[in-house]
Structure 1
């Protein structure tokens, strides 16, 4: 895989947001699922931002530059997500805004300078010469570079980064799926993205109930196969039962794997489903996928 990624990868489908002001840490502590006290200039934080029913507006990758806190979020949700976050900022000294003076690009394999990889061996991020480097460990070491420099034109397409996120199991929350899923329905408890010891935050009661009282009955899965079309985000798939096909699941993301109709689909399904179950794109006889 390293040979494929000999140059940087576009992250044009993601957006950088800054939360500044003296109350930014206290404010975010009351809004996200993870513990902001674990965030530092050398440690990132993965979390969800939920509504008061525990349904996710988005997932967030947070990092710190000086006194400011930044997060990376899907571009399709950012306008609504910031608006929902800002509703609770009225009495806090914080400013929440999309970033215009910094750019983000992805580095994988041969595109990661050896000096950067070495410095990230025991930490998850650092800032040097006004450039922040953020390490993602899955499905292999990746680096997000946050830089004031303009983005070059010769980048690998966004879909290459999306495929790696699908392989890593990171949920992709786009606008069609906002405020529909609990964090546990996307397996965030397995990625250390939820703190069950911190104080109150928006949606905490429902997130805790899902964890300790079995209120969540769904999980996120990746299925692969062949299809001449990709399923639409937010749509359902069909799975085969005796006597025909039944509608089920929520599609979070999908990507082409090759030029021969190979596809990879991230989908939320009821837990306990038979792993031998065949799936297809809704109503499409030219698609077959399995776990």
Structure 2
């Protein structure tokens, strides 16, 4: 269980966007890796948005309020990701824009109202009184609350929510790593984020090839240990060989585990790597990380 206090947690590093218009469902069906027909007001959808080579612009958590479809992604990717969607949106009756009249916060543990937790028992999305609640089950029950109300400044830092995403195994795609990785390189097939029978979407051929022809040779892992510095997004991780150190991983996200030198790093590595491998931040002898 997390050590987050009972107050809400900031989601300032994430952005809420809205897709409106009579063609919004058909349009998104041709853009994202998952089947939009599975999206309801009571069930969210996790997906990736890829370029025509199957490389991810971002991961998306989609939900529905009335006839509008919303999605949540990392704030750093919004400008580029929306621009890529807009290239195709000109052929449909849709509008895509960041949301200005709703705010997001994260709720964990005692911060989740008992009555809301009960109502989310048999669903993962609920909207009532113009407030939407989205339940995430990993690494523990937590809730994203989307509300028109003003958010208090007394919040846990964003890094606490990021830590939970890393422990849950949810890939964090920021602008430094856009259009580099196939969804399977971030294990999205294991999170029901890819439909392999829904039909065509942008990048579908390469995503299918990675799944059925073994075209993907990488996977996403979480390594933990100690370091006197945090690696940056897009940095390289090295792994130890008898002859020295070799570059072998791409950093997606990182956060501190405690007030000392404990850190965890979300990294993409070659599949089949030995689980006893020792890693370090590139060129840093004061860092040691393992699975």
Corresponding position of 1:260: 260
2:247, 2:3 → 1: CA distance?
Answer: 39
TM-score (norm 1): 0.99
The residue that corresponds to 2:87 in the other structure is 87
Q: Helix, strand or coil for the counterpart of 2:229? A: coil
- SS of structure 2 residue aligned to 1:88: helix
Q: Within 2, Cα distance between the matches of 1:284 and 1:3?
A: 29
- Residue 269 of structure 1 corresponds to which residue in structure 2? 269
Q: Deviations over 1:117-154 (max 9, x none)?
A: 00001101010000000000100001000000111100
Separation of aligned partners in 2, 1:211 and 1:285: 37
Shift of 1:5: 2.9
| TM-score normalised over the length of structure 2 | 0.99
* TM-superposition CA deviations, 1:4-45 (whole Å, max 9, x none): 331100000000000000000000000000000000000000
Asked if 1 retains the 8 angstrom alpha-carbon contact of 2:4 and 2:160, the reply is: no
What RMSD in Å do the two structures reach over aligned CA positions?
0.7
**Aligned residue runs from structure 1 range 174-185, under 5 A:** 174-185=174-185
- Structure 2 match to 1:119: 119
The gaps in structure 2 that reach 5 residues or longer are: none
What is the DSSP-based 3-state SS (H/G/I as helix, E as strand, rest coil) of the residue aligned with 1:27? Answer: helix
Instruction: Give the total of aligned pairs.
Output: 291
After superposition, give the CA deviation of every residue in 1:149-168 in whole Å (9 maximum; x if it has no partner).
Answer: 11110000000000000000
1:245 and 2:227 aligned: no
2:28 is paired with a residue whose SS is helix
Q: Secondary structure at the match of 2:253?
A: strand
* Structure 2 equivalent of residue 144 of structure 1: 144
SS at match of 1:87: helix
Which digits, 9 at most, give the CA deviation of each residue in 1:193-242, with x for residues without a partner?
A: 00001010000000000000000000000000000001110111110001
Please identify runs of 4+ aligned residues in structure 1 that moved more than 6 A.
none
